[in-house]
Amino acid sequence: MSISPRIADTYSETDILASAANILEEKFTQSPAFSSAAETKSFLQFKLTSLGHEIFCIMHLNSQHHLIEFEELFRGTINAAAVYPREVVKTVLAHNSAAVILVHNHPSGIAEPSQSDKDITHKLKEALALIDVPVLDHVVVGRECVSFAERGLL
């Protein structure tokens, strides 16, 4: 992607992408629901692709699957982030989420879910089921996005 010299002198590419991600987030909080994996993945590409460290996020959704808030919960290193189910449940209750989409990135660019990714998804799904909050998807973001729901991993 090339940026005009005048803009590049004032803002870094990361700043511009972060601003675009914020605009998209506002759009999705005020517009139709995340009704397809493609819409969700497009939104997440802007949010997480350029990060050099792993983060685990949650998309809090209302009963119509509109975005309440996109929240970064855990920050890790270049290849891991510790995720605590208790903290996930606390934030879901605090936001009064009707459903959630779990999200994390792989800074390596390879979005293939690891066994650890599958294990934590299973634990979180079980924990959130106790409070009647469905996990609609878990999306891993790299150069591409991998949807657990599309792969039948939920």
Rounded Cα distance, 103 and 100, in Å? 10
Per-residue pLDDT tens digits for 21-53: 777 666 655 555 666 777 788 888 877 777 778
- Name the residue among 140, 80, 83, 76 with its Cα closest to residue 109: 140
Burial classification of residue 77, based on how many CB atoms lie within 10 Å of its CB (0-12 exposed, 13-18 middle, 19 or more buried): exposed
Tokens 């982030």: give the residue.
Answer: 81
Q: Please, what is the average pLDDT of the chain? A: 84
Per-residue pLDDT tens digits for 69-112: 999 998 777 667 788 999 999 999 999 999 999 999 888 888 89
Task: Give kind and range of the element (H or E) at residue 5.
Answer: helix 5-10
Tokens 């209750």: give the residue.
Answer: 93
CA within 13 Å, CB half, 21: 17
Q: What is the DSSP letter of 108?
A: T
Sequence-separated (6 or more) residues with CB below 8 Å from residue 64: 33
pTM of the predicted protein model: 0.76
* Rg of the chain on CA atoms, in Å: 16
